[in-house]
Amino acid sequence: MDDATRGLLIAALSQKDVYPKALANFMFREIIEDAHSKYNISQEDMKAMCIEAVNRAALYIAIQSKPKLNRAFAINAIVGYEWYEAELTEDLYERMGEVYKTLDELAELEEENHAEKDEE
């Protein structure tokens, strides 16, 4: 792992509740940002929704290691019986590819900075 990637990972992991935040961001943030601009949702409401998303993500992660709670959680799927089935689209794979690309670009910048400092 290069220094830039390591630095980003350390910064991310140093946060409290990093995985609930990452899950909420991945599942919710772009969707709510679109709604924010389309429906003129206030910053206060945006903050409240993000807090709720992180709290729910934390609960979801917490119950993954508890089979009885995890099965009980599945009851939430009943309200979605008419929803479309999950689809791992090319767009989702492209988004993950963009994350990897960004990490690679940051690593290249880090290497360039190190090379410039070594030349000085």
In a domain, 27, yes or no: yes
In a domain, 31, yes or no: yes
In a domain, 82, yes or no: no
With CA atoms as reference, report the closest residue to 24 among 52, 54, 45: 54
In a domain, 80, yes or no: no
Residue-range definition of the domain harbouring residue 108? 87-120
Q: Per the structure, how many domains does the chain have?
A: 2
In a domain, 93, yes or no: yes
**Cβ-based neighbour number of residue 85 at 10 Å:** 5
Query: What is the pLDDT tens value at each position of the chain, 120 positions in all?
Result: 677 777 878 888 888 998 899 889 888 888 888 888 899 999 999 999 999 999 999 999 999 999 999 888 888 888 888 888 888 889 888 888 887 787 777 777 777 777 777 776
Domain shared by 20 and 62, yes or no: yes
Model confidence pTM above 0.75: no
Query: What is the DSSP track for 44-108?
Result: HHHHHHHHHHHHHHHHHHHHTT-HHHHHHHGGGGGGGTTSPPP---HHHHHHHHHHHHHHHHHHH
